[in-house]
Copies of this chain bind each other. A is one copy, B any other.
Amino acid sequence: MKQSNLFTKTRKEAPKDEESTNAKLLIRAGYINKEMAGVYSYLPLGLRVLEKISDIIREEMDAIGGSEIHMTTLQEKEIWEKTNRWDDEVVDNWFKTNLKSGGELGLAFTHEEPLTHIMKNYIQSYRDLPVFPYQIQVKFRNELRAKSGIMRGREFLMKDMYSFTKSAEETDAFHLEAQKAYMNIFDRVGIGERTFLTVSNGASFSKYSHEFQTISDAGEDVIHLSRERNIAVNADDYGPEILKDFDLEGIEFEEVKSVEVGDIYKLGTKYSDALGLSYTDEDGTTHPVDMGSYGIGIGRLMGTVVEVLSDEKGIVWPESIAPFQVHLLSLGEDEAAEKVYATLTQKGIEVLFDDRDISAGAKFADSELIGIPYRVVVSANTEKEEKIEVKKRTEEDERLISVEELISQL
């Protein structure tokens, strides 16, 4: 894409009311626009990153048997009353609205109830199980405070998968598969090394649940981390009982700030009991369906990557989720740069080509801020050598190499 066709521009300043590093950088670089606290639009560069993360998540969910669907935001109260989650005293972050034709509606903050209700049409027998529907869909949460940029939104894109199985044992087995898929995702988006499986109390559903926590000073959580055992305990739940239950007694832990980038809950039969989702086994006996839920906030994941990988000059994207692989800068050599652009694009390499008529300094500064993995400069100097100048965003030094050498690297 030619940068002259990208309608966004970098900005010197983020909005004054923006406190988070992730949103400040993403706004300044033109990835997102702040509509209000916790509510951000995604502009062309930002949408590209969001889609790349979503596609990685899709691949990993499909690999463990997921079926993608798309449920609705608008929710009728009847099914939520059955699980006692309609009342604002019970769930404190509902957005509610009214139908002109009468009746109160909610904006979905999660989808256990409607999906369990849908599944009653399709699950009757043990032959219909297990199934693992998931969606990548916008959630609404009426947070009192939203100061963490795209890491805690009032409106945000989330991947939520739900498992429907015959038994708690079958849910446990899938749980382990989902854990592996989640670690694949965090590895692939570039934060695997600093992301840890974390045990915590299981809300009302089961004794314990699992979270994935990424070490970051921008995090709102604190975990007790054992790098040796590759596991962490949520600080809120850290104590003799949880240590004993997970065989972690006597282990040394370090306390670190972290971001919850994913969670896995065993739901048991809470929702299937309340909503009447059951199946008959081989013997004709009826059982409630066992359930689990598996969430990843996609905006939060994007924000976390920005928080943990950026430097003082700007964003640093891993290649897997960068909006483009190559940022091509023409320094007064537009014709030669056009040729490089054509060659790289033809090879299927995603290139943002800065063809604008602005100073070299402005191009370099924009490139650091936007954070594309490979910066390629075409200038009078590089033309003399019949090479291009390549610098990785994560490295200090540039190298003069041929276009072919760059292609073979990518």
Contact = CB atoms under 8 A, between A and B. Distances in A.
Contacts of A142: 99-100
Contacts of A143: 100
A73 B73 contact: yes
B65 A41 contact: no
Interface string A75-108: 1100000000000000011011111110001010
Contact of A144 (B44, B70, B101, B133): B101
A2 to B, nearest CB: 11
Interface string A114-150: 1000110111000010010100001010111100000
Contact of A95 (B75, B97, B118): B97
Given A72-B41, A144-B100, A33 B118 contact: yes
Nearest to A156: B72
Number of identical protomers: 2
A97 B99 CA distance: 11
A230 interface: no
Nearest to A145: B101
A40 interface: yes
Interface in A25-45: 30, 33, 35-36, 39-44
A41 B121 CA distance: 13
Interface string A1-43: 0000111110100000000000000000010010110011111
A121 B70 contact: no
A47 B33 contact: no
Given A41-B114, A101-B144, A73 B11 contact: no
A68 interface: yes
